[in-house]
Amino acid sequence: GIEGAIVECGVWKGGSMMMAALTLLELDEVNREFYLYDTYEGMSAPTEADRAYNGGTAEDLLRNRYEAQNLISSLESVQQAMNSTKYHPDLIRYVKGKVEETIPATVPDRIALLRLDTDWYESTYHEMVHLYPRLVRGGVLIVDDYGFWQGSRKAIDQYIAEKQLKLLLNRVDFTARIAVKLEDAAS
């Protein structure tokens, strides 16, 4: 198998990582670490770069379409959700705070699965700079909002161009993209 931790930036209610934990349990692979990065207090403020695919500002879209409570999931509620999977709790690291403040201080050496879902340009670019080099060859990158938020897309495209990566972002659906890292971990 592929070595490394499972990392998610932007956990919300923990559903994606619950699915990953349950899959690992089903496969009897119970020694993999999880790193779950989130503010656990809602989304950080967007910048001007953070616009929807149609040009609408993130600030306006979030104010008009969502109630603030729907975007907040506490650390305790995510821990409870993850505990319900029965995956070993000592292997799950919850890192609270903005990724720009918690990464790279608290990161695994090697990453097998890197899921980015913080939506905004600044956080997504920061995640790529500090976490993508730790994604092992054959590891999987998932970018949840590449097709929806212009800032997320800009961050990914900018990093790929700067590093001259050979990375094919496959379309999962309207918004998500997935890729397998082909280069060595140092890339």
For the chain, list the domains and their CATH numbers.
5-180 (3.40.50.150)
Give the per-residue pLDDT at 64.
60
Contact 154, 161 (CB under 8 A): no
| Residue 183 banded pLDDT, cuts 50, 70, 90 | confident
Give the per-residue pLDDT at 43.
86
pLDDT single digits (tens) 132-153: 999 999 999 999 999 999 999 9
Amino acid at residue number 56: G
Give the per-residue pLDDT at 187.
59
Residue 160 predicted with pLDDT over 70:
yes
Residue 184 predicted with pLDDT over 90:
no
Tokens 């934990």 belong to 21
Residue 42 predicted with pLDDT over 60:
yes
Q: Burial-class residue 82 by CB neighbours within 10 Å (0-12, 13-18, 19+).
A: buried
Residue 66 predicted with pLDDT over 60:
no
Residue scoring higher pLDDT (13 or 183): 13
Q: Is 25 helix (H, G, I), strand (E, B) or coil?
A: helix
